[in-house]
Amino acid sequence: MLKDFVMELRRRLYTRGSSYETTVPMPLLFSVDKKKKYEIIFTFDSTSNKWFIKIEEARPKGVKNE
């Protein structure tokens, strides 16, 4: 078992037109089926002042959030 395991991945933030972008590192995508489409959801927790990343399978067009 991996106890007290820490991994750090740093990514470059770059400009693209009038916005900023970055890429999602492959180690974060180890569990995704590359034949399916996914959405990457970034959530900010103001209490801890940290960002969290969630990967969900993309819903077909026309399907609303539950």
**Domain, as residue range, for 48:** 31-60
**Inside any domain, residue 38:** yes
> How many domains, in total, are found in the chain?
1
| Total-model pTM | 0.61
Residue 21 lies in a domain: no
In this structure, the number of other CB atoms found within 10 A of the CB of residue 32 comes to 14
Q: How far is CA 20 from CA 12, 26, 44, 61, in A?
A: 10, 20, 17, 26
Residue 18 located in a structural domain? no
pLDDT digits (tens, 9 = 90+) for 9-52: 788 888 989 999 888 888 888 889 989 999 888 899 998 888 88
Identify whether 24 is part of a domain: no
